[in-house]
């Protein structure tokens, strides 16, 4: 047993071992989703990989000129909420059997996050710890066949590309993220920390134009304009539909606050802007890494549509902050709470009665990430240029500073 444990520890700690683990859980989760019998909702049978069905069907709706942003209860439950360009891209999988398409989709999600983490300016040991910490939250996302692993990977990948001076790739990842979920656009703020700003703007504009018109390969111009109008109308209607696992959801569930969503969003935007005023720290590597963590958490906790599978993005941000900082008891306790009450809160570790009567009605999953974001925010405000608190042994110096 000891030999087996030593071998397992050596395998996981090796640079490539966790890659196999990530791919394995993507494949197993996909097969499990396929094998689980369909369940009935509103009198119709739906699969456990309904989100993938929504993605797959969006391609067929696009090429047939149907409204992408209306309900099709005979095919799927819930709306398609991504861009027409995403519907076009998913066509590369739509023609496959569901088993193959779903496996590839989930593998793409885990690989995007894996390689983005591997590119962070952290030592391999810190990267390994980060990847292990994220496994359970990532599993929650892929068990729902969601795109959140891919979104986290694209946002982190844009940061690492900018670190290496690869502006063309950074802008590609950011534009792609935005055309998947519009909140990916928040990552464009990262360009403030780096040179070649004109080059960044030109590449971003070029990629945006290309991605906007790509669906013209399968639909006429007037139909594409109509689809973008439908997308905008759907997002406006969707904005007022719920509170989500967010700051607003926490305020609503704990204090009964049902109005003032715009005020909360405005306060969130103000808090988001404040750290960017610390221009003197723009060349500090730890500051930039903490800003990445800050953005990843912010984009979830101020998202009125945040769901449990979305939290791989926020937990990735919290983990980046934690594993790039010193070991301190209060930090350990905070991340323990993130793991226990965010990542484990949806698992069978907790009895259904606790989840149904406590965790879900009181937005417990979001609270550790909200606290973590407040801590990161306060730390960014306290940082001093060239101060000893800015140094960390886990951070490596990237090629471009």
Give 6-54 pLDDT, tens digit per residue. 665 666 666 678 999 999 999 999 999 999 887 777 677 788 899 999 9
3-state SS class at 382: helix
> Is 135 exposed, middle or buried, given 0-12, 13-18 or 19+ CB atoms closer than 10 A?
middle
Alpha helices in 304-384, H assignment, sequence order? 311-323, 329-337, 352-354, 367-382
- Please give, one letter per residue, the 3-state secondary structure of 95-132: CCCHHHHHHHHHHHHHHHHHHHHHCCCECHHHHHHHHH
Token pair 């971003």 is found at: 204
Residues above pLDDT 90, as percent of the chain: 71
Residue 262 pLDDT > 50, yes or no?
yes
Q: What is the DSSP string of 192-216?
A: GGSS-HHHHHHHHHHHHHHHHHGGG
Residue 191 pLDDT > 50, yes or no?
yes
Residue 381 makes CB contacts below 8 A (sequence gap 6+) with 274, 275, 278
Q: Smallest Cα–Cα separation from 187: which of 203, 202, 171, 207? A: 171
Residue 340 pLDDT > 80, yes or no?
yes
Instruction: Indicate the average pLDDT of the chain.
Output: 89
pLDDT of residue 216: 97
Alpha-carbon 126 to chain mean position: 20
Give 83-94 pLDDT, tens digit per residue. 999 999 999 999
- Two tokens, residue 136: 């359970």
């Amino acid at each position: 047993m000891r030999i087996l444990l030593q071998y397992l520890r050596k395998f996981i700690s090796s640079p490539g071992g966790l890659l196999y683990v990530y791919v394995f859980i993507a494949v197993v989760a996909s097969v499990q989703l396929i094998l689980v019998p369909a369940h009935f909702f509103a009198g119709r049978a739906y699969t456990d990989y309904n989100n993938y069905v929504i993605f797959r069907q969006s391609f067929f709706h696009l090429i047939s000129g149907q409204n992408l942003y209306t309900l099709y209860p005979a095919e799927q439950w819930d709306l398609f909420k991504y861009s027409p360009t995403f519907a076009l891209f998913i066509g590369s999988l739509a023609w496959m059997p569901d088993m193959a398409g779903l496996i590839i989709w989930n593998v793409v999600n885990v690989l995007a996050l894996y390689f983005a983490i591997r590119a962070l300016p952290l030592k391999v040991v810190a990267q390994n710890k980060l990847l292990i910490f994220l496994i359970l939250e990532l599993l929650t996302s892929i068990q729902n066949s969601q795109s959140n692993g891919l979104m986290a990977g694209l946002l982190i990948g844009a940061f690492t590309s900018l670190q290496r001076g690869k502006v063309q790739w950074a802008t590609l990842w950011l534009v792609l993220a935005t055309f998947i979920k519009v909140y990916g656009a928040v990552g464009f703020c990262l360009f403030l920390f780096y040179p070649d700003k004109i080059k960044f703007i030109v590449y971003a504009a070029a990629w945006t134009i290309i991605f906007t018109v790509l669906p013209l390969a399968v639909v006429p111009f007037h139909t594409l304009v109509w689809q973008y109008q439908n997308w905008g109308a759907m997002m406006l209607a969707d904005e007022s539909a719920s509170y989500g696992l967010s700051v607003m959801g926490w305020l609503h569930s704990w204090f009964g606050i049902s109005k003032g969503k715009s005020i909360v969003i405005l306060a969130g935007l103000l808090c988001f802007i404040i750290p960017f005023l610390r221009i003197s720290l723009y060349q500090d590597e730890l500051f930039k890494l903490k800003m990445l963590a800050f953005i990843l958490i912010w984009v979830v906790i101020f998202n009125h549509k945040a769901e449990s599978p979305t939290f791989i993005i926020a937990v990735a941000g919290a983990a980046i902050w934690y594993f790039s900082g010193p070991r301190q008891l209060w930090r350990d306790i905070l991340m323990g709470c993130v793991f226990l009450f965010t990542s484990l809160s949806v698992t069978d570790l907790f009895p259904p009665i606790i989840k149904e009567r406590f965790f879900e009605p009181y937005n417990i999953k979001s609270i550790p990430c909200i606290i973590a974001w407040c801590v990161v925010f306060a730390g960014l405000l306290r940082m001093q240029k060239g101060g000893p608190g800015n140094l960390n042994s886990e951070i490596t110096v990237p090629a471009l500073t």
